[in-house]
Structure 1
Amino acid sequence: MYSLLIDHLSTAVIQLNDQLDIEYLNPAAEMLLAVSRRRIYGHPIHAAFREDENSVQALQLAIESGYPFTKREAEIVRNNGKKLFCDYTVTPVMGTSNETESLIIELYPRDRMKRISQEDEIIANHESSKELVRGLAHEIKNPLGGIRGAAQLISRAFTDEALNDYTQVIIEESDRLRDLVDRLLGPRQLPKNTSLNIHKVIERVRQLISVETDNQIRIVRDYDPSIPDLIGDESQLIQALLNITRNAMQALLEDETNQDKTIHMVTRALRQFTIGSKRHRLVCKISIIDNGPGIPEAILKTLFYPMVSGRADGTGLGLSIAQSIIHQHHGIVECNSYPQKTEFNLLIPIETSVQDQEKHV
């Protein structure tokens, strides 16, 4: 009866004997740890997951003392090599002789909460940087207009062509700074939303990258054909995706040690997925994955800020603009980077865009 109840719990539960061998896992634990309970019954705890030597000693101490304990934000490694952040509680079960017969471990995954917290931080930082740039743009563009106007008036008063060349430099450089500020502000118009196939957008970007690299980079496509059309601005989405894919392209082309330069373009449909603090029924996930050297850890947290770049000749605007565009589509851009694997994920809610369109009909 009790095992039947535990089988229906959403909490992952593991039972160990006094030798720390696995006696029982409920289905939630099987799913969380990606193991089959029939295959690991009777095996040591590390057959289900590994942590560190201190964790094994803590389990042994719980058996000897009979005292429960809780560990927060533990990083455990499943047998498939994937890491999992979780809280877990260990409770000793006493037998008739008042000695510990077994341990009950309850696992509470924290990955989802950690990801939501990170997304909230990305969104908050993006909004803060936009406000900062808006204020900076206002302070820069006002005197720039005055400088440009004064240079034009001066140029009309000069008859010497050599002096006119100098005023032309002032005008051109003022225009260049104005354009830079406009780029910092990101898209100046609201998205012109239409129904579109996201794979058409990705294919356009793939063609552009293939032409730019003269097929020096292998592009692997892995599309989910079940993704429905979404409502968005096609040209803006092409720009956002192109900015991110160009980053991957440039990192690969600069990596002379890599003989198999590859970009994977992957799409998936995610159901009941949370972006920030809002849950969406259906989300389109676009992943751009390259096998380049990775992004320096020093700039990873500020990657989407304007003027932040890991390349000497980079402007630091491409990713900031991409984040602004996806944010206008109620989504977010995330990044995970390690040596030989950098992954950008563009998450765009599908049903939100449809609802927005219906409101304007």
Structure 2
Amino acid sequence: MRILPTRAASAALFNPQEALDQLPNSVLIIDKKTMAVLYANTAAEVFLKLSRKSFIGFEIRDLFGDDGAFYKSLEIFQKTGITQRVDVLLGIGSLRLDQKECLAYLILAPMEGSDLFLMEWFEIDQRNKSVREERLIMQARANKDLMRNLAHEIKNPLGGIKGAAQLLDYELPDPSLKEYTKVMIKEVDRLQLLVDRLLAPQKRQKQVTQVNIHEVLERVRSIVLAEFPKGLQITRFYDVSMPDFIGDKELLIQAVLNIVHNAAQILEDRIRDGDALIQLQSSISRNITIAKKRFKLALNINIIDNGPGIPSEIIDQIFLPLVSGRPSGSGLGLTLAQSFVQMHGGFISVQSIPGKTEFHIQIPYTSADFITSIDSRSSQ
């Protein structure tokens, strides 16, 4: 026999706010008279990179850019009250220091019986973004296997080569010939250091503790500014409400440092001109999927610089070992950063155009057991 719930029981089971928070699309509820935001769901928080408490009450024009199609649709909706569905280029308004634009499908719809209306949108390339994220995660796993196998194959012969070169150096009667053996020994030592860096993630014993991500970011900021005291500005835009999470603080410091230090080196020309800028941002995502796993909460770190950008021919391979955008780069910094972040169940992605490069780190809030299981799988 089918038992239908009573109206009171249905009301108790259904929470409209929780339902909207589960939606993958961004949703705002807006006062039609004042154009002020009264409610935002979690997807809107992620898009705007702001906690809802920080922008509730602000007008729409404070939140979004100046795209004419968006405001034209808004004006038509205000005059007619007819639901609008349109593709627009949504940007970030004055509440954000950085500028972000994306092509989005926008819906403006009235809420019957009130002076409120609903604004819903989703990024048109969202599916492509998910595919890219999954590809990056699979690429990082392949990189890890490649580095581990390559390092072990190189490590053993290096010891033999160095030993033979040292014996030859001892036996050579002509001092001028010893210059050649010294070069051999020096190059072997350089390769040995490179191999040790490749094996670093597997050799280091992890220290899993409660981590405050802003302590990580501030540590990195102080290190980089100590090396580049003039001509470089590192600004911060933090969501201070973010809770601590479980992770390895030192590995995360190294991951973020690799990215920020790499950005500072690429900004060499701008540092000389005195207008180099790196921005560190933190925010929260809710109900997100990483590597086909669903998480209720994740932290976001965005590292943005105003450098020349990553060459288009290497951006898809930037996390591969020995791929670098700098002639003097080793091509390991970003590879190791990706590996360290993946040990926490997260990933790093990048977008770049001339004048703006943005690295996005996303790490789920997880238990110590989850981090341990990720770590054990990565070291197998």
Q: Pick the structure with greater CA Rg.
A: 1
Native 8 Å contact 1:116 1:277 kept in 2 = no
Shift of 1:135: 3.0
Specify which of 133, 141, 155 is matched with residue 119 of structure 1: 133
- Per-residue displacement from partner, 1:16-49 (whole Å, max 9, x unpaired)? xxxxxxxxxxx99xx8998698743368x9x864
- Note if 1:285 corresponds to 2:305: no
1:189 alignment partner in structure 2: 204
Query: Are the counterparts in 2 of residues 226 and 269 from structure 1 also a CA contact under 8 Å?
Result: no
2:265 corresponds to 1:246: no
Q: Using the alignment, how far apart are the partners of 2:150 and 2:285 within structure 1?
A: 38
Q: Is the 8 A contact 2:232 2:271 kept in 1?
A: no
By how many angstroms is 1:300 displaced?
0.9
Instruction: Report if the CA contact (8 A) 2:322-2:330 is conserved.
Output: yes
SS in 2 for 1:242: helix
Q: How many residues align?
A: 294
Aligned counterpart in structure 1 of residue 163 of structure 2, from 125, 134, 149: 149
AA matched with 2:129? R
Q: Which residue of 2 aligns with 1:134?
A: 148
Offset of residue 259 of structure 1 = 5.5
Specify which of 302, 324, 342 is matched with residue 327 of structure 1: 342
Alignment RMSD, CA only? 3.8
CA–CA distance in 2 between the matches of 1:170 and 1:321?
A: 27
Q: Distance in 2 between matches of 1:307 and 1:132?
A: 12
Alignment of 1:348-359 (within 5 A): 348-353=363-368, 355-356=370-371
Matched residue SS, 1:301? helix
Alignment TM-score, normalising by the size of structure 1: 0.69
Q: Report the alpha carbon displacement of residue 242 of structure 1 after superposing the two structures with TM.
A: 0.8
Structure 2 residue aligned with 1:271, among 286, 294, 297? 286
CA shift in 2, pair 1:11/1:347, >3 Å: closer
1:312 corresponds to 2:327: yes
1:40 is the counterpart of 2:76: yes
**Aligned-pair distance for 1:159?**
5.9
Deviation at 1:325, TM superposition (A): 0.8
Q: Is the CA contact 1:335–1:342 (under 8 Å) kept in the aligned structure 2? A: yes
Question: 1-side partners of 2:219 and 2:158: how far apart?
Answer: 37
Residue identity in the other structure for 1:243:
N
Contact 1:330 1:352 in 2 (8 A): no
What's the TM-score once normalised by structure 2's chain length? 0.66
Looking at structure 1, the residues matched to 343 and 151 of structure 2 have their Cα atoms a distance apart, in angstroms, of 20
For each residue in 1:70-111, what CA deviation from the matched residue of structure 2 results, as whole angstroms up to 9, or x when unmatched? xxxxxx63487833367xxxxxxxxxxxxxxxxxxx998554
2:101 counterpart (76, 82, 91): 82
Deviation at 1:158, TM superposition (A): 4.5
Greater relative contact order (CA < 8 Å, ≥ 6 in sequence):
2
1:341 matched to 2:356: yes
Check 1:276–1:148 CA distance in 2 against 1; reply closer, same or farther (3 A cut).
Answer: same
What is residue 168 of structure 1 aligned with on the other side? 182
Offset of residue 164 of structure 1: 4.7
Pick closer, same or farther for the CA change 1:232–1:215 going to 2, 3 Å. Answer: farther
1:59 is aligned to: none
Q: Is the 8 A contact 1:49 1:79 kept in 2?
A: no
Report % sequence identity. Answer: 41
1:294 Cα deviation from its structure 2 partner: 1.4
Structure 1 unmatched runs, 5+? 1-7, 13-26, 51-75, 87-105
Note if 1:207 corresponds to 2:226. no
